[in-house]
Amino acid sequence: MEVVVLGSAAGGGFPQWNCNAPTSRRAREGSARAKWRTQASVAVSADGKRWVMLNASPDARQQLLQNQCLWPRDGLRDSPVRAVVLTSAEIDHVAGLLSMRESQPFVLWGTRRVLGLLAENPIFGALNPQYVQRRAFDLGEHIELAGSDGSLGLAMTAFAVPGKVPLFLEGRDPQHLAGSAEDTIGLEIAAGSAKFHYIPGCARMTPELEDRIRGSALVFFDGTLWSDDELVQLGISYKTGQRMGHMSINGGSGTLTAFDQLDIGRKIFIHVNTTNPVLDEDSPERAEVAAHGWEVAEDGMRITL
C-alpha cells in the first residue's frame, strides 16, 4: 500500500494568506526553514494505479497537478482517483470536490451525516450523480472500498472521534458544538495485513481511541496547534484548541503525553495550523516532538506499507 501526503496544513494552508504570526511571516520571507504546505489530504493506493483521496481540500486542484501518480493516463479524460472518503464536512475537507466536477467518475464515501450536509448544499449538485456516486458507511462497519470501476483492494473501517460540527454550522445549534458521532471520524485503512490510521481532527484522547490505535504501524494525527491557547496568546482569536475541536500537541492532556505509551510505529502530525511553531524545523518545539518520536507531515511525503 502506498500513501502520499497531498497536503499537510490545517484550513488556510501554510503560510496562510492573511496570517502575519511569526511562523507564517518567516515562512513567507524565507527566513526560517519552514516548508510551505497545502491543506490536509492524503492519497492511498493498493496497486499504485488506482487511488483514493482521504478528503478533498480546497487545494485539491494543485495537489492533483503536483503528484504525477494522479495524472490522467489513458484516453482523453481520465483520473487515477477512483474514490474520495470524507472524515468531516469542514470546508478544508470538502471544498476540493468543487474542483473535481468535470464529469469524472468517482465514488464519494462519507457518513450519512456528512453526505447529508453536502446534499443540503445545492453547490455540490455540480458533482453530476451520473459520474459521482455518493455512498454512505456506518461507523464500525468493515467496508471493501469501491471506486468507480470496482474494488480498490483497500478495506476501511471508520470510527467516531471527539470533534466538532463544521465551522459553518456552529450557528445552527450553538449549545451542541461537539456534534454527533458521525460529524468527525477517523479511518483505519488496510491492504492485506498493511494498515494505518488517518485522524486529521480530534478533540481529545479517549480509552476507545487508545484501544483502536495502540500498536498501529502508522498514525496520521491532528497536529493543528502546539498549545491550547496558541491563538489567544498570539492575539489572533478568542478560540482555544478545545473550542475548535482540536487536541493540542503540548500540555498535560496534549498529544505528546497521550501517545507516549501507545507503541505506534510511525506518528505523523497532519492538519498543522499556520501558527504552530513545529512548522519551523529549527524551533525547540520541533525538537521536542521529534524527541517524542513524532514527524511533521510535508506535502509530497510518500510512505510504503
Nearer to ligand MLT, 57 or 283 (CB): 57
Min CB(40)–ligand MLT separation in Å: 9
Residue 301 beta carbon to Mn ion: minimum distance, rounded to whole angstroms? 19
Q: Does 11 bind ligand MLT (CB under 6 A)?
A: yes
In three-state secondary structure terms, 158 is strand
- Sheet bearing 142-147, strands edge to edge: 142-147, 150-160, 185-191, 194-199, 218-222, 266-270, 294-296
Nearer to ligand MLT, 92 or 298 (CB): 92
Does 167 bind ligand MLT (CB under 6 A)? Our answer is yes
Helices (H), the chain: 22-29, 60-66, 91-94, 112-120, 207-213, 230-234, 241-244, 255-259, 284-291
Report if residue 10 touches ligand MLT, rule: CB under 6 A: yes
178 binds ligand MLT (CB under 6 A): no
Cell 445545492 belongs to which residue?
122
Instruction: Please count the CA atoms within 13 angstroms of the CA of 136 that sit on its side-chain side.
Output: 12
Q: Does 92 bind Mn ion (CB under 5 A)?
A: yes
To ligand MLT, the closest distance from the beta carbon of 202 in angstroms equals 11
Residue 91 binding target from Mn ion, ligand MLT, none, CB below 5 to 8 Å by type: ligand MLT
**Helices (H), ranges, 30-68:** 60-66
Q: For ligand MLT, which is the closer residue by CB, 128 or 237?
A: 237
Q: Report how far residue 198's alpha carbon sits from residue 54's, in angstroms, rounded to the nearest whole number.
A: 8
Distance between terminal CA atoms of the chain? 5
Site string for ligand MLT, 199-218 (x = CB under 6 A): --x-----------------
Q: Which positions from 85 through 144 interact with ligand MLT, judged by CB under 6 A?
A: 90-92
Shortest Cβ 173–ligand MLT spacing (Å): 17
Q: Which stretch binds Mn ion (CB under 5 A): 85-93, 150-158, 171-179, 180-188?
A: 85-93
CB 13 within 8 A of CB 39: yes
Residue nearest to ligand MLT (CB): 11
Q: What is the CB neighbour count within 10 angstroms for residue 261?
A: 9
